[in-house]
Structure 1
């Protein structure tokens, strides 16, 4: 009986994962004969699940949507995956931490003992972002409004707060509430929303700006939607056909593709194994001994040259010429800085420092 129950749970999860399953493919996934699959479908129907079926060589099954659907059931892997997702949301600064923690507690209450012990082993935390210790989080209501607009292809009007100033908290409330002073300087925007994207724990809306006639990315916690939404629009092809890669490209200084605008190559006087952990998305080639070749990118040539200097090793065979010029620029700056420092020390006389 336990084997049959497990198979029914797997069948239900498969039906929930896809809109429609061909009968032979579904039977193959369950490793059962078509006759057994038909019996299992009938058992689920007797339990109240509305499963539509079509006969014939191209027939299949689909789980019909309906308000009278019984409570959802989860197999072990689904329950643990849900626990991990809720745990991640509860420890991350995502604006849903308290709700996720309550949902996680509710899930734990109904978990069988074998899963509860495995779930307890999933305890983890997230390291704070030192660069932005106080982060404004988007309101769940705003996320829901924007998500619905993306789904419905509806034009959105909103007030967009200006970029944070030099204040410790950036002038933004960390709980995502409105800041009256900043809202007085907000800019009215009218866009066609295409996707919500998370990048380095920040939420962004990727949209076509109707007034500027170009793609724009907006930080969600600075968006204050105006209702109702506008008319429907026909979606535009996102450059590169991937919203996430397009947003990442913008932060790399590229216009369209998820590639660094400045890419160079050097030979470092270090073993490849010592460079790989710090190479980021660069490519490391082992040249044997204490030498390796590194191909890496950045948003500018000077920034790339400075990043390569952090390896504290000899640098040879730099290319292209723009990278060589950037090294010369930095060399001049460092030489002037060193000269000024030396002069200052000499002026202070013996025993200074």
Structure 2
């Protein structure tokens, strides 16, 4: 029979892997008697683990949530996953950098030497963009999450360039809390405007108490990722397809292999060793023309006419920016 300490750790590990454990099955897995299982469960309870017994044909035990956080037990894969998650938490925009660093240090201290050496080889450098995204307080995120989970009408003040001083609070039915490019957003049904809206969480100041409960509406398209993608691409969130509002087709004088890595969600078709067909989307026709123009290659516009007009407009603008160049002389700035 294993020593008591090793047996307790094995019992705790089993209790963390599934919801309910019949007592007889625990005794079989640990190779101990049901009576010893009962004694070990009592020892774990004394250490703060909220283990409850359930009745039934077989009877057994369940690890429930408690009032305090007792020591946790992780296997090797869980420990590695936790370490990586804590290292990249600094890019979450949730204002938890310091707490994540402390949690990572705590986890590392209690790891066995063999696992600590493995963890120390995992060095993740989170590179943040030059433009620092606004942080969202934990209290705000928790308030938004609670309203989404409890399906309660949320009232909040919202700071935006279009907002007027003294404007009444927004009233919404919160649906999802999502992240997009380092920012947090609330997807909700606006009760006053009777339409779906996305709100930046860093501009929200929740009001208490929350409103009445509501029956959740069906999100257009049924998928929050597709809905948010459509909104940020400028499509109609109520019924848009999620595609870019402007999509065009060109032929580039480059091999497809050189274009594909930089085509984002575009479609690249090889036409020969040095030519390829590219279909791209963007917010606007000028934006699409600029996206195509970054490739150092000859461009043939297949369509539509709006894209061709955008290239012509940019060509005039760039020519003006470059100044007039005579046939034999240098460029002359205007």
Q: TM-score range by the shorter chain?
A: 0.7 to 0.9
Which structure shows the higher helix fraction? 1
How far apart are the structure 2 equivalents of 1:122 and 1:93? 22
Q: Is the 8 A contact 1:265 1:294 kept in 2?
A: yes
1:227 alignment partner, one of 186, 199, 208:
208
1:155 equivalent in structure 2 = 153
In structure 1, stretches of 5+ residues that fail to align are 24-32, 165-181
Q: Is the 8 A contact 2:10 2:30 kept in 1?
A: no
How far apart are the structure 1 equivalents of 2:85 and 2:254? 40
Cα offsets for 1:191-235 (capped at 9, x unmatched) = 111110000000000111000001101000100111111111111
1:176 equivalent in structure 2 = none
The structural deviation recorded for 1:327 is 1.8
2:171 equivalent in structure 1 = 190
Change (3 A) 1:280 1:340: closer
1:134 equivalent in structure 2 = 132
1:102 equivalent in structure 2 = 102
How far apart are the structure 2 equivalents of 1:140 and 1:41? 47
Aligned residues: 313
Q: Is the 8 A contact 2:93 2:184 kept in 1?
A: no
Cα offsets for 1:2-29 (capped at 9, x unmatched) = 99999767644432xxx579x9xxxxxx
Cα offsets for 1:85-138 (capped at 9, x unmatched) = 1111136543111111111111111111122122222222222313xx233211
Larger mean CA deviation between 106-115 and 146-155 belongs to 106-115
Report the 3-state secondary structure (helix = DSSP H, G, I; strand = E; otherwise coil) of the residue aligned with 1:325.
helix
2:266 equivalent in structure 1 = 282
Change (3 A) 1:184 1:308: same
How far apart are the structure 2 equivalents of 1:285 and 1:4? 61
The structural deviation recorded for 1:54 is 5.6
Cα offsets for 1:275-320 (capped at 9, x unmatched) = 111111112223331122222211223322331122122233623x
1:272 equivalent in structure 2 = 256
Q: Is the 8 A contact 1:54 1:61 kept in 2?
A: no
Q: Is the 8 A contact 1:50 1:64 kept in 2?
A: yes
* Equivalent residues in 2 for 1:47-86, closer than 5 Å: 47-48=44-45, 49-50=51-52, 52=54, 63-67=63-67, 71-86=71-86
2:290 equivalent in structure 1 = 306
2:116 equivalent in structure 1 = 116
Report the 3-state secondary structure (helix = DSSP H, G, I; strand = E; otherwise coil) of the residue aligned with 1:240.
coil
The structural deviation recorded for 1:336 is 5.4
* Equivalent residues in 2 for 1:197-346, closer than 5 Å: 197-256=178-237, 257-316=241-300, 318-319=302-303, 321=304, 324-335=305-316, 337-338=318-319, 341-343=322-324
Change (3 A) 1:316 1:112: same
How far apart are the structure 1 equivalents of 2:149 and 2:65? 18
Cα offsets for 1:16-74 (capped at 9, x unmatched) = xxx579x9xxxxxxxxx999459699658564543647659xx9986444558853311
Larger mean CA deviation between 215-224 and 3-12 belongs to 3-12
Change (3 A) 1:186 1:162: farther
Report the 3-state secondary structure (helix = DSSP H, G, I; strand = E; otherwise coil) of the residue aligned with 2:268.
strand
Q: Is the 8 A contact 1:282 1:296 kept in 2?
A: yes
The structural deviation recorded for 1:328 is 2.6
How far apart are the structure 1 equivalents of 2:318 and 2:331? 21
How far apart are the structure 1 equivalents of 2:174 and 2:79? 33
Q: Is the 8 A contact 2:269 2:276 kept in 1?
A: yes
In structure 2, stretches of 5+ residues that fail to align are 46-50
RMSD of equivalent CA atoms? 3.6
Query: Could you tell me the TM-score, scaled by structure 2's length?
Result: 0.79
How far apart are the structure 2 equivalents of 1:260 and 1:337? 25
Change (3 A) 1:65 1:102: closer
Q: Is the 8 A contact 1:263 1:295 kept in 2?
A: yes
